[in-house]
Structure 1
C-alpha cells in the first residue's frame, strides 16, 4: 500500500492530487494544508475517501512542518513512500512588476524574500523533516513542483520579464533538488523537479481568469507557436503521476516536464 504526503492541497494542483490518489483505496494519502477549516473541498474529499488524512501544515513555519512529519510518521508506521512538495507562493498582487518597476525598494526586497522563504526554504525544511520517513519507506521518492518560469532559456525565448520573485525562487529550488539528489543517491532516494505545465489555478473570478489564460497563451505563442495552452489540474496530475511512478534513480536530480522530457535546457 503506497503512501503519499502532499503539501498545498487546499486547491488547484494539490487538491487534484488528493482527488486522484484518494480514489484508489490502496493508497494512504496525507493531505497537508495550512488553513484546514477553510479547505471545504479538501474536507469533503477526506469525508469521501477514508484513506485521506488531513494534516495541518504551514510550510512557512518550521515547527508546523516538523509537527506534520511527526504526525505522518505516527499514523503511517514511521515511514513514507512519496513526498510531493506542491505548496508554493505563486500568485501575488505585484506579480506583474518587473525588477526595475518597484518605486519602493524595501518592498522589492520584502517580496523577493517572501518568495524565497516559501518556495525555497519552506521546501528544504519540508524535505529535511520527512527524510527519516522516506528512508524507511519502500519507494523513496521526493518530488518538487517546479516551473518553466525558472528556466533561463524559457525566460529569454518568451520575453518573460514579470514575476521575478517567483521565477528566481523556482530556479533556486531546482538547485536545492540537485543538491539533495547528489547527497542521497547512494541511499536510493529519488529527487525530481517536475514542471506541471500551464495549469488553470487562478483565484480570480472565472471571466477574469479565462481572459488571463487567453492573453498569456497568445503572448507565449508569438515565440512558441506549438504551445498547447492552459490545462486543467486533473490532466496535469495524471501526467505527473505517470512520471513519478516510473522514475528511476538514474533520473534523480532532474528537472522534467509533465511528459517526462528533460526540462533542464528549456
Structure 2
C-alpha cells in the first residue's frame, strides 16, 4: 500500500497526480495545497476515493511541519514518495527577457525573491518537514518538479530568453536536490529533479485559450523546434504525469541527485 504525497496539488500537474494515483485503490494519496478547501471540493466532485487533502504553503515552514504530522497519521507513519510540485511563476515575467528589466531593477528583485522563496527555499522547507517520514519508508523517494528552463543547453539551442526569475530559481532547486542526494546517499534515499516537459495547464487544449496566449504557445513551439524538430507543442497534464511516474518508479540510488526529463533522460523534448 504505497503512499504518495503531492505538494502543490491545487491544479494542473499537481491535481493530475491526485487523479492518476487515486485510480489505484491500494495507494494512499495526500494532496498539500495552500487553499485546501478548494482542492477538497474538486476531490469530492471527482469522487477521488483515497485522497486526503491538507493545508500547507511552501513559503511557510511551520505549515509544512504541521502538514507532515497530519499526513503521517494518514499514511501510517511513513511516506514512500514525496513529490514537490508547487512553484511560483508570475505571468508578468513569463515572456520578459533579461534586458527587459533595464529600468525595472526593483521589480526584477521582487520577482526573483518571490521565485526563490517558493521554488528554492520552499523546497528545502518541504523536504526538511517530511524527511523524517520518508526515512521510515522502504522506498524513500523525493522528487522535485523542475523545468527545462533550468537547463543551459536547452536555453542556448532554443534561444529561450524568457521567464528569467523562474529559471534561476529552478536551477537553484536542482542544486539543492544534488546536495540532499549527497548528504543521504549512504541511507538509500533517492532525490530527483524532474522536468515534466512542456505541459498545457491553462486549458484542455490550445483551442480553448485566449488568442494572445495561444499565439505565445505557437511562438514557444517554434523556439523548441530548434532543439527538437519533431516537437509539435505542449502535452496535457495527463500525458505528462503518466510519463513522470514511469521515470519516478524506475530511478534507483544510482540516479540520486540527477536532473532528468519526463523521458527519463537529459533530452527535454
Q: TM-score, normalised by structure 2?
A: 0.92
Number of aligned residues:
263
Contact 1:15 1:42 in 2 (8 A): no
Aligned to 1:34: 34
Q: How does 1:176-191 map to 2 (within 5 A)?
A: 176-191=176-191
The answer on 1:150 being equivalent to 2:150 is yes
Contact 1:9 1:42 in 2 (8 A): no
User: What is the rounded CA distance, in whole Å, between the counterparts of 1:223 and 1:262 in structure 2?
Assistant: 13
98 and 215 in structure 1: CA distance in 2 versus 1, 3 angstrom threshold: closer
Aligned to 1:164: 164
Which residues of structure 2 form unaligned runs of 5+? none
1:100 is paired with a residue whose SS is helix
The answer on 1:238 being equivalent to 2:236 is no
Aligned to 2:87: 88
User: What is the rounded CA distance, in whole Å, between the counterparts of 2:252 and 2:243 in structure 1?
Assistant: 16
User: What is the rounded CA distance, in whole Å, between the counterparts of 1:59 and 1:85 in structure 2?
Assistant: 9
Tell me how far 1:197 sits from its aligned partner: 0.5
Tell me how far 1:200 sits from its aligned partner: 0.2
Aligned to 2:64: 65
Give a deviation string over 1:83-131, Cα, whole Å, max 9, x none: 0001111242232222232223111111111101100000111001111
Q: TM-score, normalised by structure 1?
A: 0.93
Tell me how far 1:51 sits from its aligned partner: 1.1
Aligned to 2:24: 24
| Superposition RMSD in Å | 1.9
Tell me how far 1:173 sits from its aligned partner: 0.5
Deviates more, 1:229-238 or 1:205-214: 205-214
Contact 2:159 2:223 in 1 (8 A): no
Aligned to 2:261: 257
1:259 is paired with a residue whose SS is coil
Contact 1:10 1:42 in 2 (8 A): no
Give a deviation string over 1:192-217, Cα, whole Å, max 9, x none: 11111100013796234433322210
The answer on 1:8 being equivalent to 2:8 is yes
Which residues of structure 1 form unaligned runs of 5+? none
Q: How does 1:43-122 map to 2 (within 5 A)?
A: 43-45=44-46, 48-102=47-101, 103-122=103-122
Tell me how far 1:223 sits from its aligned partner: 4.8
Contact 2:16 2:241 in 1 (8 A): yes
Deviates more, 1:196-205 or 1:172-181: 196-205
224 and 138 in structure 1: CA distance in 2 versus 1, 3 angstrom threshold: same
Deviates more, 1:199-208 or 1:233-242: 199-208
Deviates more, 1:92-101 or 1:253-262: 92-101
1:226 is paired with a residue whose SS is coil
